[in-house]
Structure formats: structure tokens, C-alpha cells
Amino acid sequence: MFDVFGDLKKQISTSGATTPKVSSWVFSCMKACMLITLLACVLVTAKNYIGDNIRCITGTKDQEHKAIETYCFISSTFTLVDLDNTQPHPGVGPDAPRVKDDGEVEVVDNRRHAYYQWVPMMLMLQAVIFYLPIWLWGRVDKGFFKAAICQLDKIHISDVSPNIECSAKYFAGSINTHRSYAFAFLMCEALSFAFSVGNLFLTNKFLGGEFFRFGIGALHYLGMPASDPNNPLNEIFPKVAKCTWYKYGASGTIQKLDSMCVLPLNIVNEKTYIFLWMVYMVTAFLIGIFFLTHIILFLFPNIRSTTLVFMAKSHQTKLDLQHVLPKCNYGDWFLMHNFRKNMAYFKEWVAAVRQEVVK
């Protein structure tokens, strides 16, 4: 079974080797969503663990039976709406017009279910969408941060004074020139937030407008039998559905065959989307919180300066930062903040920057 997730494993690094990079919790949430969505895509396409996509009762044999099953899967199945609860399977019953007690003829409406065929491709598209802001930021950075940190992200056995001096001189000599760099990162975070929220509405549209209420209802009815007519899981991912097949008879007359089909694939689909509902809702909320925090830091210089000073561990580093930060704009603060997260010699680096700035 682990072979199924072999390709997904390649996306997760376990080697312990890290590259200095500018990142945030927003990007971490987006990457987590991407990996979970890829995992879901692998799961719904693992036919060995699901079985056949569809099995139909057609009353025919051999080639004709296989042809009808294939047709029903590619042309979509349907369930009937407004049936009473006496039906053995929700949404499956006679679709002939019904005559009410008052003599009025009522036509039974049906609901087509075709989106389950597109679930793997939809999940792959969503994974690409989640990765897009991270990819865009990589195109913007182009190794700039790695060059600016001058290999100070690693512990060195030899003397690192030249590296510290090189990085400090660059920073001190380029103060107030990093605004566009930081603003580009903020725009990528804004894009991440837009994609995380837009993904909710995209998924809701894909599932026929049922995604938002699907999660809450599914959590309540998750332990109930699949045949329960009140189970909302059956409305979006029916386990038993109908299919109509037309063929020409011996004399050329069109014959109608009404088939009842079982959809094992929807068992996995429904559980997958319950989990994705929780993941997408939580991550959209968290990304919104993190992005709002970064907007506040962007708008209020005193808050961001106080935050960076508070995060410094050494008292001397706090004093050095208090002399350097008043000369920095948001872009400089942003670069310094990421240096603190990645740099192994941040205390020495800040002291060197202070000396360069006061010259």
C-alpha cells in the first residue's frame, strides 16, 4: 500500500538538509493543503483499494452488460428527488409520472451526478492552485535571500567574520531599498489568502452548491447507515443510483432499459471530502489570521519594531536593534526578521550592522 504514496513522499523532505528561505505560516498552510490534496487525489484513484468504479444491474449479459456499465459511468447516473422515505435506497425509485390523491399528475424530477468522474482532476487542479503562490515567490526571490545571508544559516568551524562583515555591509549599504521585495512577498500572501477562500467557493460550485452544508451535516450523520434517507452524504455522493440505456430492438424500435447502479467510488469520495472540508475551512481561517497579522505589521512601524526586539534573545542584541530599526523601513525590517529566523549568527550580525550604520 505504501507504494501508492511513493510519488507523494518525494514532495516531503526528510534529509535534514535545509536551504535558507523566506517563508511564513501562510505558505506553510498552503503547502500543507497542497500535500493533503495530492494525498486525496492518490487515494481516490487507488482502484486496488476501492474496487470497481461502478457495478450495475442491467438484466443483460456479457458484452452488452459491460457496455451499459461503461455508458452509465461516462454519461453520469441520476437519483430522483422528492421521493418518500419508503424507498429502500434514497433517490432510487420509479420515475414514471405519479398521480396524486387529488388527480394531479406530478412529474418526478431527477438529479444528475457527473462530478464524481472529475474528482481526481479537480483535486489535481486544486493542488496546483495551492502551490502557485509559493512558486511565484520563488520566481521573485531568485536566490536573493540565500545570497544576502552569506552562508550564515550554517554553523561554521572556521572563522565566519568575513561572512558576517559581507552580509552586514550589504544590509547597511542597501537600507530603504527592500520595500518592493517585502511588498512582493505580502502580495503572494494576499494571493494565498484569496486562493484559500476562493477554493472553498470553487469546491462548493463543483459539488453543486452543497459543500458548505455538506461538512456540518456529514459530521452529524457520519455514523449512520448509507441507506438512511436523511443522510446528507447520499445527496452528494449517492451509493446507489439509476441509469437509463437506450438501444435499438430487432425491428428498429428504441428500447429503454432502466438500470440500478452501485457506486463504490463514492464511499471514498464522501470520506475524502469530509476530511477536505475540515482542512480547507481550518486553513482558510488560519491563513486569514496570519495574513491580517502581517498587514498590521506592515501598517504600524512601532509594532513591528517592538516585535523584533522582543524576539531577540540577547540583551545586547535588543540594544543593537533599537539603534538600527529606526533607520529601517518595512522592507528592511522584513529582511532582518527573516535573517533572525534563518541565521545562526544573528547576534553577531546585528552588532556588525550597528557598527556599519553609525559610521
> What global pTM score does this model have?
0.78
Alpha helices in 224-300 (DSSP H): 233-236, 265-299
- Per-position pLDDT tens, the chain of length 359: 445 445 445 445 444 446 778 888 999 999 999 999 999 888 887 765 556 677 777 777 777 778 777 777 777 665 656 555 555 555 565 555 554 555 554 455 556 666 667 888 889 999 999 999 999 999 999 889 988 888 888 887 778 888 999 999 999 888 989 999 999 999 999 999 999 999 999 998 888 787 887 777 776 666 665 555 566 666 777 777 777 777 777 777 777 777 777 777 777 888 888 889 999 999 999 999 999 999 999 999 999 999 999 988 889 999 999 989 999 999 999 999 999 999 888 999 999 999 888 76
φ/ψ of 133, rounded to 5, equals -60, -35
**From CA 63, how far away is CA 170, in angstroms rounded?**
74
Chain-centroid distance of CA 298 in Å reads 26
CB atoms within 10 A of CB 166: 15
What residues does 259 pair with on adjacent strands?
243
Torsion of CA 175, 178, 179, 182, to 10 degrees: -140
**From CA 59, how far away is CA 261, in angstroms rounded?**
12
